[in-house]
Structures are given as structure tokens and as C-alpha cells.
């Protein structure tokens, strides 16, 4: 399925973060090394980034493979940021196509990506819809399981849940309502990054005063740590912590 990456740290060009690394997201579009489901990620891509002094990120999303966009290299060369979230997409069968279906999904200062699938979408979402309200469903960015899951996460963020709780409780409530699938989420507000490992691979690395959380290492340099399955990583340039999903949602009853 998809591959995604978030970076927080000293200003870096999108090119340095996504295209230059030998096994970076650009290459993962056709040759991921650790992906557990799917082969290539050629159904679109998206990049979200924060400009200094503006809490609301910009997004650039396309429905072509990352290597097939003639504008990306140029844009990536001159765009620098301290906070980036990007994804390459392998559409789950039955999901909508188009740029609006490509991560990152966004609201206000948040950027979100989902690597995985909600089994049986959209039929399976019917009982899960009670977890959300109609307004949220009607404003989905695209008819994709990821947009639906993002709506559930966002509902929890808006209700005041800390980010890692919003992610963990969404997975727990979907599973409690009978939903199954793979739920590797990546979320950032430009200050911290939160990632879940729930069915596919997730790694992080603290290096050069920055932190990267990604589906898989973008190079063979030392410093990458794998996040165990059913865990959540909370990371900032100052450090990272890994906790079991069950610990994050302990005491949360909804």
C-alpha cells in the first residue's frame, strides 16, 4: 500500500527530503523495500509543508506517479520547510481516483496520511458511520477509506483529544465497531509528528537536529529505529517516544 514520511527539523528542501535520498519516497513510488501490501505506489502522491510564520500548511497533490510529474523536481528544488508530510499512493481497489484522494488530507494546521485499508469500504463504513456525524461524512475530501478515517480522527482532535489519543482511539473504536484493516496513520501540526504502526511498517530517525518518521528508511545510514506493530510514535526534533496503542487509549471510553 502507500508509503508516507514526515520530517521536522532545520529547513530542508523538498528535494533533499523526498527525491535525493537513495531509497526515499520518490524511489519508493516504484521500488519500496519494506512494503507489506501492494507493489508500486503509482496512483498519485501528495506533499504538505509549512512556511515560516504561517501555521496552515500548503499542499501539492497529483493523481500521477511521483516520477511522472514534470513540475515536481523544480518545485522541490526551491521549496524549503521545517515541517513536511508527504505520501505516495497505491489506491486500494474500489477507492476513488484523483488528486483529492491522495494524502495528505488537511484541516487547519493538521496534515494526515493513512497507509493501509479499511476492509470492505464503503459498505463496512455503514455501521462505523455512527462514530461520526453526518456533517463530517458529507464533507469528506474524497470517497476513500483514508478520508473517512481522517474525519474520525479530526472529530476527536476537534473535541480536544491529544493527537496520539485521537489516532489510537480512532483505531480502537473502528475495531470495536467490527471494522478491520490496516491503520498506519501519520499526523503532524508542524511542531510534532504522531505515527501509528498497525499492520504495516513504520520507522523513525533522529538526525542532524531533525526527526523523520517514515514507512521505511530512505537510506542505509545508521540511526533508523523500527516502531513495533500496534504502537504509536510521538516525535519532535528534541526526541521520540514509542508507546503501545493500548497504553495511549487507556481510560478512554468512547
Say whether 36 sits in a helix, a strand or coil: coil
Q: How many residues bind ligand GLN (CB under 6 A)?
A: 15
User: Can you give the three-state secondary structure of 80-103, one letter per residue?
Assistant: EEEEEEEEECCCCCCCCCCHHHCC
95 binds ligand GLN (CB under 6 A): yes
Q: Pick the binder of ligand GLN from 90, 173, 196, 218 (CB under 6 A).
A: 90
* Residues in 135-164 at the binding interface with ligand GLN, rule: CB under 6 A: 144-146
Give the cell for residue 64. Answer: 500521477
* Residue from 2, 47, 103, 140 carrying the catalytic annotation: 2
CB of 102 to ligand GLN, least distance (A): 7
Q: In terms of CB distance, is 12 or 25 closer to ligand GLN?
A: 25
114 binds ligand GLN (CB under 6 A): yes
Q: What is the DSSP letter of 32?
A: -
CB of 44 to ligand GLN, least distance (A): 8
> Which conformational region is residue 12 in: left (phi greater than 0), alpha (psi within -120 to 50 degrees), or beta?
beta
* Residues in 11-40 at the binding interface with ligand GLN, rule: CB under 6 A: 38
115 binds ligand GLN (CB under 6 A): yes
2 binds ligand GLN (CB under 6 A): yes
The sign of the CA dihedral 244, 57, 112, 129 is positive
Q: What is the DSSP letter of 18?
A: I
Q: In terms of CB distance, is 90 or 212 closer to ligand GLN?
A: 90
Asked if 2 is an active-site residue, the reply is: yes
Closest chain position to ligand GLN (CB)? 1
In whole angstroms, give the CA distance from residue 160 to residue 176: 21
In whole angstroms, give the CA distance from residue 15 to residue 125: 37
Give the total residue count for the chain.
254
CB of 212 to ligand GLN, least distance (A): 19
CB of 202 to ligand GLN, least distance (A): 12
**124, containing H or E segment:** none
In whole angstroms, give the CA distance from residue 246 to residue 231: 8
- Residues near ligand GLN, by CB under 6 A: 1-2, 38, 89-92, 95, 114-117, 144-146
- Catalytic site positions: 2
Amino acid at each position: 500500500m502507500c508509503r508516507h514520511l514526515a520530517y521536522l527539523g532545520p529547513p530542508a528542501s523538498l528535494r533533499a527530503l523526498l527525491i535525493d535520498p537513495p531509497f526515499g519516497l520518490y524511489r519508493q513510488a516504484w521500488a519500496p523495500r519494506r512494503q507489506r501490501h501492494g507493489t508500486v505506489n503509482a496512483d498519485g502522491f501528495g506533499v504538505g509543508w509549512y512556511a515560516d510564520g504561517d501555521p496552515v500548511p500548503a499542499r501539492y497533490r497529483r493523481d500521477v506517479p511521483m516520477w511522472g510529474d514534470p513540475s515536481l523536481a523544480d518545485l522541490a528544488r526551491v521549496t524549503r520547510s521545517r515541517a513536511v508530510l508527504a505520501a505516495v499512493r497505491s489506491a486500494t481497489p474500489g477507492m476513488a481516483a484523483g488528486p483529492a484522494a491522495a494524502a495528505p488530507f488537511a484541516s487547519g494546521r493538521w496534515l494526515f496520511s493513512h497507509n493501509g485499508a479499511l476492509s470492505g469500504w464503503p459498505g463496512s463504513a455503514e455501521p462505523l458511520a455512527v462514530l461520526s456525524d453526518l456533517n463530517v461524512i458529507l464533507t469528506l475530501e474524497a470517497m476513500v477509506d483514508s478520508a473517512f478515517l481522517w474525519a474520525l480522527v479530526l472529530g476527536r482532535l476537534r473535541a480536544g483529544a491529544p493527537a496520539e489519543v485521537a489516532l489510537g482511539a480512532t483505531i480502537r473504536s473502528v475495531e470495536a465497531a467490527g471494522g478491520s484493516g490496516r491503520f498506519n496513520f501519520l499526523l503532524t501540526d508542524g511542531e510534532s509528528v504522531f505515527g501509528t504502526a498497525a499492520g504495516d511498517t513504520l520507522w523513525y530517525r533522529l538526525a542532524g537536529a531533525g526527526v523523520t518518521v517514515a514507512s521505511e528508511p530512505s537510506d542505509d545510514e545508521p540511526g533508523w529505529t523500527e516502531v513495533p506493530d500496534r504502537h504509536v510514535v510521538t516525535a519532535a526534533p528534541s526526541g521520540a517516544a514509542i508507546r503501545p496503542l493500548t497504553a495511549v487509549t487507556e481510560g478512554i471510553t468512547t
